[in-house]
Amino acid sequence: MSAGRDMLCDTARAVFAEAATAGVAPVEEAGFALLLVPEEHGGFGGDWGDADAVLRIAGAMVPDLPVADLIARQAALLPAAVVSLMAGAMGQALALSIDHVNSRQQFGRPLAKFQAVQQSLSVMACEVRAVEAAAAALAVRLDAVNIDPSAAGFEIACAKLRANRAAGIVTSIAHQVHGAIGFTEEYALHRVTIALMRWRGEHGNDAHWAEILGRKVARAGGRGLWETLTSRG
Amino acid sequence: MQGLALYPFDPPGDIAALRTDLRAWLAVNQPQDDIVAKANCWASFDPDFSRALGAAGYIGMTLPARYGGGDRHPLQRYVVIEELLAAGAPVGAHWIADRQTGPLILRYGSEEQRRRYLPGIAKGELYACIGLSEPGAGSDLAAVRTTARETAEGWRINGQKIWTTGAHLSHIMLALVRTEEGSERSAGLSQLLIDLDTPGIIIRPIVDMAGHHDFNEVFFDDVLVPPGALVGERGQGWRQVTAELGLERSGPERYLSSHALLAAVIDSAGPDPDTAVAMLIGELTAEMWTLRQLSMSTAAKLAAGEDPMIEASVVKELGNAFEQDMPRRVQAIVDCGWDDDTDLAKLLRALLIASPSFSLRGGTREVIRGIIARGLGLR
């Protein structure tokens, strides 16, 4: 990660920490709406890799604030923005789950020492890694085409569909390993899991993207799929 | 928490040309008569194909030229491997030697071993099998009991290996054996490179549920191999095997070896499939695209000299699940009779039957999940 992006992420963490209680105002004041605006138009001239990094932090820290709309600025980029939010929220759900099973004791030992719990969290971690990879690869594609969503339709469909599929698995395992405490209003898990439930259905649910993607691939033929994958990187 | 960063997959040289050349080569040289050989294709043995592939420079690509290798970058090899798998090429004969035995000999082997074995591996003529599993040591690999005692003439081996894929077609076995008397678990193990025509070795077939003879059991009855059969350091076998398993688990074969079925589904669906089939194709495509990104990033991390143990396990776990689910999901949606004489039906049948093995070979699903759990700090 570049030094500039590191600084951007540090700023985002500080601003979102404030916004978690103060609402969206600090995010607007910090100028995140200008992240993708070119420098010659008075913006920060960031790329989608920057947007992905900021949105992942937003997904983990302020999933209920409209940060995606603020940054994406055009409807066609919202599915991509939501993939980054979902990657961040899933990472947070995993981190909370790992903390919980390491500290919560039952039967005289931490939950983390039970193989059943270990296997569940491994499944969850694989899903989270998959969505993180999807968000990162989508960012690489968008930046290769000057953030033109019409030139990244294949990747947007793949990434949102994969994130949608992971959402169900990640939320259910996170809640299962947390037990009753995770189901309370007081505990922070629901902030990310309810957001994940909402995002799965927004900007294209599974069926929406599966059919669009499937028809695109069917038109290219069996060999065409591999040629598409390898020519787009 | 810092999320996963993708390692940029950036092989040197003209990669588009590498793909184009290999696709043209395959169009001429890949046997097309056996559609089922394209499914689970790294278990398809075809020595003629392997020799031709080796002669064309596509085996032993990363080995140094002085041992007959191609002096190529590991990510160039990765590109070649994924092209071969996506085409369903029968790469089984040389697969293990090219993927892990050759690199291990280069890394840990003596100069004599390198000169003796690597050129044959790079030509696609010398095949290797993996001597790890034993009747009492499956997932619990540290329970290995086959012994090798040092004598004046060399190592004297007694014991048994099992589930040895391709032993009957291989020239050498890289075996994990107990060289230190009285040692336990992961201590006292060493790796020996054993010529399989050595007297005292008996190889018996185990026919699998598909009716194929891929597996074997291999018996060692007072087998004498020369002192130079030791690979690497005596007593360091466990560490070396762990590195070998890293190579075994990180490759694109974990999600790409059944690509022929997906291609056949797409072809049989035609350009305007009904909605259920279109959605199935879309779902499988999204998973495959994601797996490819993960796999390429893992390969790039490995090529950068880092240890992607956890990432490799994630690719194996997700890739195995993808390949295991694919034929089941296809059967649930696509109308296709069990005995139909179409490519799709033959591939589907072969993969439904082969698929239980996908989450067993190379480390069971439970073992792989345990490795991931350790990476998460749970054990």
CATH code, domain with A222: 1.20.140.10
DSSP secondary structure of A120-168: HHHHHHHHHHHHHHHHHHHHHHHHHTTT-GGGSHHHHHHHHHHHHHHHH
Q: Are A37 and A44 in contact (CB under 8 A)?
A: yes
B370/chain A closest Cα distance in angstroms: 7
A134 touches chain B (CB under 8 A): yes
Model ipTM value: 0.97
* CATH tag for B250-375 (out of 1.20.140.10, 3.30.60.50, 3.40.50.150, 1.20.1070.10): 1.20.140.10
- Cβ contact, residue pair A161, B311, below 8 Å: no
Are B157 and B192 contacting, i.e. CB atoms less than 8 angstroms apart? yes
Q: pLDDT per residue over A169-192, tens digit each?
A: 999 999 999 999 999 999 999 999
Q: Which of A83, A85, A122 to mutate to test the interface with B (most CBs of B within 10 A)?
A: A122
| Cβ atoms of B124 and B51 closer than 8 Å | yes
Give Cβ neighbours of residue A17 (< 8 Å, ≥ 6 apart): A61
- Cβ of A218 under 8 Å from any chain B Cβ? yes
Domain ranges for chain B, please list them.
Answer: 15-126, 130-235, 250-375
B378/A92 touch (CB, cutoff 8 Å), yes or no: no
- CB contacts < 8 Å between A and B, how many? 174
Residue B6 touches chain A, beta carbons under 8 Å = yes
Are the beta carbons of A210 and B282 separated by less than 8 Å?
yes
Q: How far apart are the first and last CA of chain A?
A: 20
- What residues make up the domain containing A33? 3-232
Under a CB-based contact definition with an 8 Å cutoff, are residues A209 and A164 in contact? Answer: yes
Alpha carbon distance B86, B96 (integer Å): 18
Sort out which chain A residues have CB atoms less than 8 A from B24's CB and list them: none
Residues in B closer than 8 angstroms to A225, CB to CB, are: 262-263, 266, 285, 288
Given this structure, which CATH class describes domain B15-126?
Answer: mainly alpha
Task: Round to the nearest angstrom and report the end-to-end CA distance of chain B.
Answer: 19
Contact across the interface for B280 and A214, Cβ inside 8 Å: yes
Distance from CA of B223 to the nearest CA of A (A): 40
Which of these, B26, B30, B169, B175, lies nearest to B95 by C-alpha position?
B169
> In this complex, is the C-beta atom of A109 within 8 Å of any C-beta atom belonging to chain B?
no
Q: Is any Cβ of chain A less than 8 angstroms from the Cβ of B328?
A: no
> Residues in chain B with pLDDT < 50?
1-2
Residue-level pLDDT at B14: 97
Q: How far is CA A161 from CA A73, A168, A190, B79, B336, in A?
A: 22, 12, 22, 26, 27
Q: How far apart are CA B348 and CA B264, in angstroms?
A: 9
The H or E element containing residue A190 is: helix A189-201
Asked if A45 and A178 count as a contact pair (C-beta separation under 8 A), the reply is no
Name the residues of B annotated as catalytic: 248
CATH, domain range B130-235 = 2.40.110.10
In the chain, the amino acid numbered B287 is: E
Question: Which residues of B are less than 8 Å from A12 in CB distance?
Answer: none
Q: Mutation target for B interface from A86, A121, A226, A231: give the one with most B CBs within 10 A.
A: A226
Query: How far is it, in rounded angstroms, from Cα B247 to Cα B302?
Result: 9
* The pLDDT of residue B1: 35
Q: Go through A154-175 and write b for each residue having 16 or more CB atoms within 10 A of its CB, e for each that does not.
A: bbbbbbbbbbbbbbebbbebbb
Domain count, chain A: 1
Which of A133, A157, A218 is opposite residue B6, by nearest beta carbon?
A133
Listed as ranges, residues in chain A with pLDDT below 50 are: none
Across the interface, whether the CB atoms of B263 and A223 are under 8 A apart is answered: yes
Q: Which residue among B4, B289, B369 places its CB closest to the CB of A129?
A: B4
Q: Does B5 touch chain A (CB under 8 A)?
A: yes
Query: Which residues, numbered 216 to 275 in chain B, qualify as contacts with chain A under a Cβ-Cβ cut-off of 8 Å?
Result: 259, 262-267, 269-273, 275
Query: Which residue is closest to A214 within chain B, CA to CA?
Result: B282
